[in-house]
Amino acid sequence: QLQLQESGPGLVKPSETLSLTCTVSGGSISSRSYYWGWIRQPPGKGLEWIGNIYYTGRTSYNPSLKSRVTISVDTSKDQFSLKLSSVTAADTAVYYCARLGDYWKASDSWGQGTLVTVSS
Amino acid sequence: DIQMTQSPSSLSAFVGDRVTITCRASQSINTYLSWYQQRPGNAPKLLIYAANSLQDGVPSRFSGRGSGTDFTLTISGLQPEDFATYYCQQTYSSLFTFGPGTKVDLK
């Protein structure tokens, strides 16, 4: 059974960099059949796509966040990571990692999510 | 960017009701449309992909239709566990946008 688990600090100061890691278990991140993505949800609001990565390292980012986002993959650890720089209070959200099918790109498996609060 | 809208934004229904939610894209997305269910405090769960394909393990009372710009999600015989928020998402363009959500609650 595939599982995804987000990890990282729950509190980040304004102007600093948010860093999260998603660990994949029960499956390989190097599978050619899947992409891996990050999605966030501000408290009480809807879902926002951040970006996704293929095991080869090929990435696609939300243009509204592109200047601040880096997604990377570590196939040796079955992990992929998110870095979001110069954070503000508007970046406070639950951050989810997810697996995407390679053709339709539907997110068929999700982590439980982790709340990251940006505050001094 | 492709904008997604949903209607209604919320609805109230009884257990056993048939419920239909509409999702509209600002331009054609073929059938690159998924539906998700999110219960409070939980991660979203994939229900439908490719506009009308039921994800493994999802009850058959959920169904999706549409192509191009107009799509629907129908729940035939609402169950207590179906009271949740539903989101559509397009994956046609490189920016995967979500609809704003439709909250289904108990009448």
Query: B42 contacts in A (CB within 8 Å)?
Result: 112
Instruction: Find, in chain B, the residue whose alpha carbon is nearest to that of A61.
Output: B95
Nearest-CB residue to A46 (from B91, B95, B98): B98
Angle ∠(B86,B89,B93) on CA atoms, nearest 5: 175
Residue B33 pairs in a beta bridge with B90
HSE, CB side, 13 Å, CA atoms: give it for residue B42.
14
SS3 content of chain B, % helix, strand, coil (to 5): 5, 50, 45
Query: B46 contacts in A (CB within 8 Å)?
Result: 106-108
- The rounded average pLDDT for each run of 10 residues, N- to C-terminus, in chain B (107 residues) is 97 96 98 97 97 97 98 96 97 95 95
| Contact at CB, A110 and B43, closer than 8 angstroms | yes
Instruction: Judge whether A105 is closer than 8 Å to chain B, CB to CB.
Output: yes
Residue A7 burial class via C-beta count within 10 angstroms: exposed 0-12, middle 13-18, buried 19 and up: middle
Instruction: Judge whether A62 is closer than 8 Å to chain B, CB to CB.
Output: yes
**Which positions 18-47 of A are in contact with B (Cβ < 8 Å)?**
37, 39, 46-47
pLDDT at A91 over 90: yes
**pLDDT by residue (tens digit) across B20-43?**
999 999 999 999 999 999 999 999
- Please give the pLDDT value at position A102: 86
Alpha-carbon distance B59 to nearest alpha carbon in chain A (angstroms):
15
- Please give the pLDDT value at position B93: 94
- Please give the pLDDT value at position A114: 98
- Please give the pLDDT value at position A22: 98
Looking at every residue in chain A, the average pLDDT score rounds to: 97
Query: A48 contacts in B (CB within 8 Å)?
Result: 98
Instruction: Find, in chain B, the residue whose alpha carbon is nearest to that of A41.
Output: B43
| Contact at CB, B95 and A49, closer than 8 angstroms | yes
Residue A3 in 3-state DSSP?
Answer: strand
Q: Work out the percent of chain B whose per-residue pLDDT is above 90.
A: 97
Across the range A62-83, mean pLDDT stands at 97
- Please give the pLDDT value at position A50: 98
**pLDDT by residue (tens digit) across A14-67?**
999 999 999 999 999 999 999 999 999 999 999 999 999 999 999 999 999 999
